[in-house]
Amino acid sequence: MESKKQEFSLWYLIIAGVATLMLQLYISQAGVNTLAYSEFKALLKAGNIREVTLGETALSGTLLTTGVEKVLPPDRAETLKLAKEPEHVFTAVRVNDPGLIADLDAAHVRYSGQADARWIGTLLSWVVPVMIFFGIWSLLIRRIGGAGGFGGGLMEIGKSKAKVYLQQQTGVTFADVAGIDEAKGELMEVVDFLKTPDRYRRLGGKIPKGVLLLGAPGTGKTLLARAVAGEAGVPFFSMSGSEFVELFVGVGAARVRDLFAQAEQRAPCIIFIDELDALGKTRSLNVAGGQDEREQTLNQLLVEMDGFDTNKGVIIMAATNRPEILDAALLRPGRFDRHVVLDRPDLKGREQILRVHVRNVSLAPSVELGQLAARTPGFAGADLANLVNEAALLAARKNKSAVDSDDFDEALDRIIGGLEKRNRIMIPLEKQTIAYHEAGHALVAEHRPHADRVSRVSIIPRGVAALGYTQQTPTEDRYLLRRSELLDRLDVLLGGRVAEQIVFGDVSTGAENDLQRATDIARQMITQYGMSESLGLPCYERTGANMLPMTAAMSRPEREYGEQTAQAIDEEIRRTLAQSAERVRQTLAAEREKLDLLAGLLLEKEVVDRAGLDALMNTPQVASPVAEPTAA
């Protein structure tokens, strides 16, 4: 798109004229002294004039400076600075002097005549400086506001910063997107319209003006938008919502106008606005007065979306993970008509995503992507890409020829638990406490029918505060949980603390996170799911509407009950947790020998995998309890 013409100002012409006049005067007078005609006649008689050029209105020539102070007054000689050089150029205005030629002949001065060429002098003294000034001025304007100017240019502040990817240069097609087949199916209609728009126009159908991609971070919203452009083979304008808003008022609205103007010239094309929530937050009353730059930008976006015709082939796509804060005017029909939700992939989707990311990775035959996908519930596409990359880096660090299962196990542990810290010094009692704590989690999980299977138990410190962990692998993806399944999860969470209480008769601070998660589950069962016999079916708390599951889980529920009900809820939470702790106590007391055996195995090997846990659970051998270390 052609850039807008710079606004002309009269000040430019005035400054250019003054600068040119000063330059012309400096050039024409530099190194030339002007003599009065009487001074010229005196110097001629004294023999200080060497040659003269006679013009119609002026004369010029060369004078000898030796002895000139004897002819001219001292102050005049010093003013003209004639004594510093042996010869000097002079000029004088010619007067009507009939005896001038005779005086020149008498002084034996060489003289010649010259016709005045005024247009040449004007050209040299005016036009050339103007051209020089214009060149300098153009360079400055280019530096301030040109496309290649330093820092993007002040004059470019109102222009769109959208990155344009033409044709297949996005480098992404639907073949590079996996695990979100439903979302791809929704967007295939957009691709089909961009490829064959006549099929829709002849029936009077209109493609949706805007497509809003909703999903948790890392689920592939930006990747999917680029794949649509790559699949359709059309220009792709990519810009973040935060890039519209600047310090100067009106810049955001100007960038919106410029972006849509560029898109219409390159139609058919796709405009993609990432992180729309940075631009499209709900408008509110500004109590401080004045104009809000973000609201002006949003208003301009709404106007532009109303003003262009989808039949021209301009499709607007946007992505956000916070739809609950978007302005309602953005979401109404006629703007962002279609909402495509990208959920976290299921088991099959995770396996497909892993296959996409391992295309360029050398895998060992022992790697089974299906099992790896089962061990990564809740992982989004970005998380799985990071997992593959971490495993490849670990294999390269060990100089392996291929990435094997051990590398993926270590990479998964690093992502979930953090960096391994084997050098952390722990006293024997702390290490033993951690071993019994993790053994309690694992044994309770093995004795609960609805709990996820334990795949790995470790007492190696990781991350900031994790001193050990018990990793569980779901057998399948679950979208609904029954009351019995939630109670089993409560039991597993309390298994570590109860194990410490049984073995040592005391508890540690290591169960802080377990207690917090258990309390959250118990509160949700009572206040949101109606799973309490004493409080009944009412829903006492609710999360915000129109929220993604991830956003709703992090938000604080709205309280809709009084103090008496709050007291009853607290009593019910304590009773639920106490009942769970009693069930766990009975299980671990019955399996005390295996608890000691698993704790001893962890103290010996630090890590117990699924095979080691199966061998321990099936062994009939009874081990003696591990002796508690005595204080020094």
Which helix (H) or strand (E) is 484 found in, with range? helix 483-504
Nearest by Cα to 187 from 177, 541, 276, 631: 177
The residue to which tokens 């929220």 are assigned: 547
The CA–CA distances, whole Å, from 469 to 86, 139, 331, 515, 567 equal 98, 65, 44, 15, 34
Selected catalytic residue, list 39, 231, 243, 438: 438
Task: Report the distance separating Cα 56 and Cα 54, nearest Å.
Answer: 7
Task: Report the distance separating Cα 532 and Cα 523, nearest Å.
Answer: 10
Task: Report the distance separating Cα 592 and Cα 588, nearest Å.
Answer: 6
Task: Report the distance separating Cα 572 and Cα 584, nearest Å.
Answer: 18
Task: Report the distance separating Cα 436 and Cα 601, nearest Å.
Answer: 10
Structure tokens, 171: 């480098």
Residue 105: Cβ-neighbour burial (10 angstroms; 0-12, 13-18, 19+): exposed
Given a contact cutoff of 8 angstroms between Cβ atoms, the answer to whether 369 and 375 are in contact is no
Given a contact cutoff of 8 angstroms between Cβ atoms, the answer to whether 560 and 530 are in contact is no
Bin 290: left if φ > 0, else alpha if -120 < ψ < 50, else beta: left
The CA–CA distances, whole Å, from 453 to 409, 469, 536, 601 equal 16, 14, 32, 19
- The 8-class DSSP code of residue 404 comes to -
- The 8-class DSSP code of residue 466 comes to B
Q: Angle at which helices 381-397 and 405-417 pack, to 10 degrees? A: 120
> 23-61 burial by CB neighbour count: b if 16+ within 10 A, else e?
bbeeeeeeeebebeeebbbbbbebebbeebebeeeebbb
Active site residue 438: yes
CA angle 394, 396, 400 (to 5 degrees): 105
List CB contacts of 54: < 8 A, sequence separation 6 or more.
94, 111, 112, 113, 114
Give the CB-side neighbour count of residue 321, counting CA atoms within 13 A.
15
* Cα four-point dihedral sign 155, 156, 158, 159: positive
Given a contact cutoff of 8 angstroms between Cβ atoms, the answer to whether 58 and 100 are in contact is no
Residue 391: Cβ-neighbour burial (10 angstroms; 0-12, 13-18, 19+): buried
Amino acid at 580: S
> What is the pairing mode between strands 58-64 and 87-93?
antiparallel
Task: Report the distance separating Cα 511 and Cα 452, nearest Å.
Answer: 20
Task: Report the distance separating Cα 391 and Cα 409, nearest Å.
Answer: 8
Structure tokens, 582: 């009693």
How far does CA 560 lie from the centroid of its chain?
A: 39
Residues with active-site annotation? 438
